[in-house]
């Protein structure tokens, strides 16, 4: 598929074997809930895009996200050192996205944010298929991390779902891939390959619900000698299709709808995450969190990303169960108005 939006102005919906060459949102036949055609200004205002790169290991955990919300460009980055409990975190908010740029090509191009001597940059390369994170902060922190989807072969999750009465969301997810590169910071210097780091990645864009929420869970690591990744969500991307899946040695295994049971006032306490088809039964206990709260009337966010350990079992229908024993990962509890 060369373009996500077809000749009639409508998206291609469903689960895709490959990745669209271009998320050509300007070609979308965008209408009001009452059927009135909306112009270029409305298309710009309502289109949102974000990209996330996460790092997981026993010695270091990190995450970096960039978001284009039309009226604002937002970015954050953090590093957490499990042994000491120490953390570095920075947040950036740029009006009208000044100092940012976003490519609408999921497998190629650059998304970045610059503010002063701070740079957050996410690169997507097609040949070979690689994702790279580069962070340079004015306090001397530097992250240079990348992973490949070619060696060994990996099947990303790629789908487009209808959203609300007049929108859609495209998402491409990866988890359970080994990572290489280096991190230099006040927490120490780390060779990511030497410490056995894994990575996960999210590229999402579209006309999302103007007011929405989601819970999300992701883990990456090694279990029973297998490379394992998990991507589970509740609240978005569930109209006709779901993004829920896990990977075993790069093979994508789809999962039905999932339920998140947790105490919103105590996010570091136990979460129970189960799928309707019985393939996922996980417990998560938090160790630390990154949180943001923003309320500008026209844009609002109440965001918690909690990192900690997963236990439980994955039960693929066509192979032996895989036990998850203390693997590091993330969960999210997110409300957004945009």
* Residue pLDDT, tens place only, 102-115: 999 999 999 999 99
**What mean pLDDT is predicted for residues 31-45?**
96
Query: How far is 167 from 31, CA to CA, in rounded Å?
Result: 9
Output the pLDDT for position 108: 94
Residue 61 is encoded by which pair of tokens? 């955990």
As a whole number of Å, the end-to-end CA separation of the chain is 29
- pLDDT above 90 for 25: yes
Output the pLDDT for position 306: 95
* Residue pLDDT, tens place only, 203-251: 999 999 999 899 999 999 999 999 999 999 999 888 899 999 999 999 9
CA proximity to 91, closest of 330, 305, 337, 268: 305
Output the pLDDT for position 200: 96
Output the pLDDT for position 295: 85
Output the pLDDT for position 153: 86
Contact 197, 178 (CB under 8 A): yes
Q: Is 156 exposed, middle or buried (0-12, 13-18, 19+ CB in 10 A)?
A: buried
Q: pTM of the predicted model, to two decimals? A: 0.95
44: phi then psi, degrees, rounded to nearest 5 = -65, -45
Residue 158 is encoded by which pair of tokens? 């790629």
Query: How far is 52 from 15, CA to CA, in rounded Å?
Result: 20
pLDDT above 90 covers a percentage of the chain that reads 90
Q: Is 85 exposed, middle or buried (0-12, 13-18, 19+ CB in 10 A)?
A: exposed
- Residue 275 pLDDT class (50, 70, 90 cuts): very high
* Residue pLDDT, tens place only, 238-270: 889 999 999 999 999 999 999 999 999 999 999
CA proximity to 229, closest of 255, 195, 205, 203: 255
Contact 299, 67 (CB under 8 A): no
Query: Which residues partner with 303 through β-bridges?
Result: 292, 334
Q: Is 123 exposed, middle or buried (0-12, 13-18, 19+ CB in 10 A)?
A: middle
Sequence-distant (≥ 6) Cβ neighbours of residue 140 within 8 angstroms: 184, 185, 186
- pLDDT above 80 for 141: yes
Output the pLDDT for position 152: 82
Q: CA distances (Å), 231 to each of 68, 78, 172, 248, 323, in order? A: 22, 20, 11, 12, 16
Output the pLDDT for position 175: 97
* Residue pLDDT, tens place only, 71-82: 999 999 999 999
* Residue pLDDT, tens place only, 148-197: 998 788 999 999 999 999 999 999 999 999 999 999 999 999 999 999 99
**Gyration radius of the chain's alpha carbons:** 19
Q: Is 233 exposed, middle or buried (0-12, 13-18, 19+ CB in 10 A)?
A: buried
- What is the average pLDDT value for the chain, to the nearest integer? 95
Output the pLDDT for position 294: 81
Output the pLDDT for position 151: 75
């Amino acid at each position: 598929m060369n373009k996500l939006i077809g000749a009639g102005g409508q998206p291609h919906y469903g689960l895709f074997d490959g990745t669209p060459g271009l998320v050509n949102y300007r070609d979308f036949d965008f209408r009001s809930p009452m059927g009135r055609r909306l112009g270029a200004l409305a298309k710009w205002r309502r289109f949102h895009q974000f990209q996330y790169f996460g790092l997981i290991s026993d010695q270091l955990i990190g995450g970096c996200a960039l978001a284009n919300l039309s009226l604002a460009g937002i970015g954050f980055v953090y590093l957490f050192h499990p042994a000491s409990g120490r953390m570095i975190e920075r947040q950036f908010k740029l009006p009208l996205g000044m100092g940012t740029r976003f490519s609408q090509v999921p497998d190629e191009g650059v998304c970045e944010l610059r503010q002063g001597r701070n740079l957050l940059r996410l690169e997507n390369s097609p040949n070979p298929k690689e994702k790279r994170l580069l962070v340079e902060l004015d306090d001397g922190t530097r992250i240079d991390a990348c992973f490949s989807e070619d060696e060994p072969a990996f099947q990303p999750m790629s789908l487009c779902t209808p959203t609300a009465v007049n929108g859609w969301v495209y998402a491409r997810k990866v988890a359970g891939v080994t990572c290489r590169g280096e991190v230099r910071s006040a927490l120490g210097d780390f060779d990511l390959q030497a410490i056995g780091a894994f990575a996960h990645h999210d590229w999402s864009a579209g006309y999302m619900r103007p007011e929405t929420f989601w819970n999300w869970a992701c883990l990456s690591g090694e279990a029973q000698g297998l490379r394992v990744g998990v991507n589970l969500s509740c609240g978005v991307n569930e109209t006709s299709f779901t993004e829920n899946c896990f990977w075993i040695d790069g093979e994508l295994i789809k999962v039905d709808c999932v339920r998140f049971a947790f105490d919103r006032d105590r996010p570091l306490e136990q979460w129970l995450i189960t799928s309707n088809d019985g393939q996922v039964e996980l417990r998560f206990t938090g160790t630390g969190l990154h949180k943001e709260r923003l309320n500008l009337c026209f844009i609002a966010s109440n965001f918690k990303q909690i990192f900690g350990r997963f236990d439980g079992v994955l039960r693929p229908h066509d192979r032996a169960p895989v036990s998850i024993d203390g693997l590091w990962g993330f969960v999210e509890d997110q409300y957004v108005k945009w």
